[in-house]
Amino acid sequence: MTKPLDLLQLRLGHRFADEALLRRALTHRSARRQHNERLEFLGDALLGFLIAEALTQRFPDASEGELTRLRARLVNGEALAEAAAELRLGEFLELGLGERKTGGQRRLSILADAFEALICAIYLDAGIEVCRERVLHLLGPALERVQPGEALKDPKTRLQEWLQSRGLERPQYHLVGERERAGAWEFEVECRVAGLPTPCRGSGGTRRGAEQAAAAPALQQLQTND
């Protein structure tokens, strides 16, 4: 019979030699004294280093400021919480009763912290090379999407600026659906823009992420038709 942690390890692409490290990474301080905060501390540093390394290799001509902004975009709390949601990490977290009753398994800060702790656990279990490989696998899609010239502005901001520069009305965002899947929330948002025949939709692990996902195709259509 497959154990729940076997499923998580399959999603991670890493089987732990020391499964106790994995359990500790998933343990919130509300659950017991041996929790994941120390792993989270080191995991934060590891993520910062490995993403900085990947960015400098991918963008050899980018300035320090551009690289810093790109790194911040990839390893901020919301981005890490979305990566955790992709793993459905919330369903594996060990939380205190009160924290679980108030929806702690869906709280962005708890998910982001657990993701950092998980990265540290992989490092302690298998070393830096395996850790690097897993980080690039888990955050690779986000890493592929970023560009230095767009580091400061997300799709929602760029869409609003494009419309304002032409004297057009601001876009309207409407939440059209939200649902829980295995301990993680998914939001669906509709972006309505004057000049587009139909609204554009986007989804994400946060409402803000869903709004950005909806803004991106709207902006692309407007620029194509401009």
- Same-domain pairing of 32 and 110: yes
pLDDT band at 6, cuts 50/70/90? confident
Assign residue 81 a region: left if phi > 0, alpha if psi is -120 to 50, beta otherwise?
A: alpha
Stated pTM of the model = 0.68
- Same-domain pairing of 132 and 38: yes
Assess contact for 189 and 208: CB atoms under 8 A: no
- Same-domain pairing of 81 and 53: yes
**Domain coverage including residue 199:** 155-225
- Same-domain pairing of 144 and 163: no
- Same-domain pairing of 89 and 200: no
pLDDT digits (tens, 9 = 90+) for 83-112: 888 888 888 888 878 777 777 677 788 889
- Same-domain pairing of 160 and 144: no
- Same-domain pairing of 135 and 57: yes
pLDDT of residue 143: 86
- Same-domain pairing of 12 and 65: yes
Give the catalytic positions in this structure: 44, 116
Assess contact for 159 and 173: CB atoms under 8 A: no
| Tally of domains within the chain | 2
Q: State the DSSP H helix or E strand holding residue 6, giving kind and residue range, or none if neither.
A: helix 4-12
pLDDT of residue 109: 84
Domain boundary among 123, 148, 173: 148
- Same-domain pairing of 163 and 128: no
